[in-house]
Amino acid sequence: MSGSTGTGGGRRQGDLPRGLSDFVGRTAELAELVKLLDVVPLVTLTGVGGVGKTRTAVEAAHRAADRFPDGTWMVELSELRDPELLPHTVAGALDVGDQSTRPLPDVLADFLADRRCLLILDTCEHLARACAALVTELLDAAPGLRVLSTGRQPLDVPGEHVVTLAPLPVPAEGEEAGAGAADYDAVRLFTARARHAVPGFAVDASNRAAVARLCRRLDGLPLALELAAPWLRVLPVEAVADRLDDRFQLLARGPGGEPGRHVTLRTAIGWSHELCGPAERLLWARASVFAGAFDRRAVLEVCSGGPLTPLRIPAVLDRLVHTSILLEEGEGARVRYRMLDTVREYGARWLRELGETGELERRHRDFLLAEARRAYSCWMGGRQIEWYERVLAVHADVRAALEHCLGDPAGGEDALDLAGALWFFWYVCGFQREGRHYLERALAAHTKPGPPRTRAAWARGLITLSQGDLGASAECVEICRTATDPVARTAAAFLEASELTLRSENAAALAILGDLELDPRRGGVEEAVWLLERGVRAFAHVQLGSPAEAAALAKESRVRSAERGERCLQAWADYVQALAELALGRPGAAVAHGRSALERKLPLHRDTWFMALCLDVLALATAGTGEAGRAARLLGVGERIWRTHGLAQLGAPELAAAREACERGLRAVLGDAGFESAHSAGLRATHEQGIALALGETTASTADQDR
């Protein structure tokens, strides 16, 4: 993915895959798409599987980029199966936190309302109804928004303009031997891909007829051509064309005696399947169980067995990459593999015919469960960024495993176990709404008390607290309180105390926390509470007007966390220390701790509610150091985030009162017009610009506002 920071208006430019340097053909279609995106709110690019819809959409977006000063975003939907998570996926692509209890389509509409931008929804056919509903709502709210969707069918939304992508032009029968055959787009594409497989490959008089015949037989379908090209490593082009002829004569005759294009693609994939050896076919089928990209270790644990021994799998993987059945991404230890949808669908069909689907789904689930349990036990250590990245990399497969568990009448406990073990991913890493979605379904599906249910209730309680939904938090307290496992009492007490601090019942919260007897050696929830409770006590003392006690507790929390290499709770302790320093009349120290808190969380920057808290305290501290203009802009950046979150300052009255007092003081210094100007600049700032401002980076264009 490639992203950049905007210039026009200072907006973020979005995320769009790099275009292909050797993109072939589609001149007329691209010109039409670019023209339509100027004037039509919704353009849908349709066509059969393998016709190149995604690549054409990306190329069109690059060519139209200058028309969208507020950015272009690509939302890949092929890995998504649950239509309820469509808004979450779009929000993730836009880097809009999904953390509040507001309807997420409303949050997205607010974000896009005043932007001139392009949103690509790629591979919509399996979510057509959900995509249609969301697109309709977003376009109604955002007049400057353009949507380019791709799929095998239109979305059927009023005002939609459909562009159907045909296969690439191929030489007609009788034109194969002519020199002009090499100028057809299908031949040009096959030649380009063949050169990747066999460097130096060229179309000349000796092979021109065979290449043209091959392209015509494959109906000019780009994916079919790309699957055929790698076989030139082991077969001459004439043999590839002859074998395709034989296969089509046997298997691919459609109505009227001509190969239908859907049949063409299936036949081309099936031909590649036939050319694979037995081990490659088996691994192809088994690896289709992965919803997203996967690494070699995942393949070894999920797909080994029978002839696919652990020692044999690496070589089989390499052969599937060489034949383009698997696409390889990354380098070295970070190499991951993925399948295109149509290739995965073919493998899944063979897996069903082998009778292994149920077994592979169970092994896939068990692999994800084992990963989640390891992450749960290791999260409080010094590898949080690594674990965040590891879980993020398998996010699509976590979803698939949860759906598998929740769809199995006997899988409720596994769903609780998986969703609860990933509490840190949902809560700390900014996926609150999605986590709550799965946790609530799992808690409803399996009501038997035990450690998995306690962990899931704890995770849901943390999320609902961050959303300000105190009623739902109280439900989680009750679930934990009625459980009998050793961690349940700790989880219940911590959630109840945290809820009380948000209700400004701080003395009661301190009493509950003071009664806790914690053993961090138990790990998981117990260790998390052992590290968290000092920070929560410090927060309560700040609100009670005891800043010295708060500062001491925050320091102790920070030291404890640092000893373990834990960064997220260090960030919370730094934030509370900043509040305490403010109350002690030391705004410079408050600035230092506020920035430290933000820096510690930046690798997990989707945690936007925490970023907003840090921006608020930095605004107060910056005002205290005399930088009124910067403080007003920081208030604006924070307000933009709180608007998205939907509950400013998490509903804590003392925090809201401090922010209001800061605004009044800044208006007195800057005047109403000066405050509004600086505050509006903060509201318009990008995520990156807000962070830079908070961390003390001042540009020439903002220096005059600090006086």
Distance CA 122, CA 455 (A): 36
Instruction: Give the span between the Cα atoms of 12 and 236, in whole angstroms.
Output: 49
Q: What is the CATH number of the domain that holds 315?
A: 1.10.10.10
Residue 514 has a pLDDT of 86
- Here the contacts of 638-642 (C-beta below 8 Å, separation 24 or greater) are 638/612, 638/682, 639/679, 639/682, 639/683, 640/682, 640/683, 640/685, 640/690, 641/97, 641/608, 641/609, 641/611, 641/612, 641/615, 641/690, 642/612
CA 395/CA 290 separation, integer angstroms: 11
pLDDT at position 94 is: 86
Name the maximum alpha-carbon separation found in the chain. 91
What pLDDT, on a 0 to 100 scale, did the predictor assign at position 262?
60
Q: What DSSP state is assigned to residue 17?
A: P
Report the number of distinct structural domains present in the chain: 5
In a domain, 119, yes or no: yes
Q: Residues 439, 460: contact at Cβ < 8 Å?
A: yes
**477 domain-assigned:** no
Tokens, residue 429: 């890493």
- Parent domain of 341: 276-355
Domain boundary pick from 274, 291, 320: 274
Confirm whether 643 is domain-assigned: yes
- Of 575, 606, 637, which residue is a domain's last? 606
- pLDDT at site 483: 85
Q: Is residue 689 one of the residues assigned to a domain?
A: yes
Tell me, yes or no, whether 293 and 222 share the same domain: no
Is 106 a member of any domain?
Answer: yes
- The pLDDT tens digits for 265-298 are 777 788 788 888 999 999 999 999 999 999 999 9
Q: What digits encode the pLDDT tens for the residues 452-483?
A: 999 999 999 999 988 888 888 889 999 998 88
Q: What's residue 258's pLDDT? A: 41
| DSSP character string of 516-572 | ----GGG-HHHHHHHHHHHHHHHHHHHHHT-HHHHHHHHHHHHHHHHHHT--HHHHH
Task: Tell me the CATH number at 541.
Answer: 1.25.40
Same domain, 539 and 555: yes
pLDDT at 247: 64
List the structure tokens of 582.
């403010």
* 15 and 143 part of one domain: yes
Please give the C-alpha separations between residue 529 and each of 291, 455, 458, 512, 514, in angstroms, as whole numbers.
Answer: 34, 12, 11, 13, 12
Q: Is residue 390 part of a domain?
A: no
* Look-up of token digits 């290739």: 343
Q: What is the pTM of this model?
A: 0.85
146 within some domain: yes
End-to-end CA distance of the chain: 40
**Together in a domain, 35 and 156:** yes
Residue 82 amino acid letter? D
638 lies in the same domain as 499: no
User: Does residue 516 share a domain with residue 569?
Assistant: yes
Residue ranges in the chain whose pLDDT is less than 70: 1-14, 19-21, 98-100, 174-179, 247-263, 605-607, 645-647, 698-707
78 with 138, same domain: the answer is yes
Say yes or no: 21 and 158 in one domain.
yes
Determine the pLDDT at residue 4: 33
Say if residues 263 and 252 touch (Cβ distance below 8 Å).
yes
SS3 258: coil
- Residue 257 class from Cβ within 10 Å (0-12 exposed, 13-18 middle, 19+ buried)? exposed
- Do 22 and 140 belong to one domain? yes
Do 601 and 614 lie in one domain? The reply is no
Distances (CA, A) of 536 to 43, 513, 575: 50, 9, 11
In this structure, are 118 and 82 located in the same domain? yes
Composition of the chain by helix, strand, coil, percent to 5 = 65, 5, 25
Outline where 218-356 has alpha helix (H).
222-228, 237-251, 261-275, 278-287, 296-303, 313-322, 341-354
The secondary element (H helix, E strand) that includes residue 215 is helix 208-217
My answer on whether 268 and 283 are in the same domain is no
CATH of the domain at 48: 3.40.50.300
In a domain, 468, yes or no: no
Residue that finishes a domain, picked among 240, 274, 308:
274
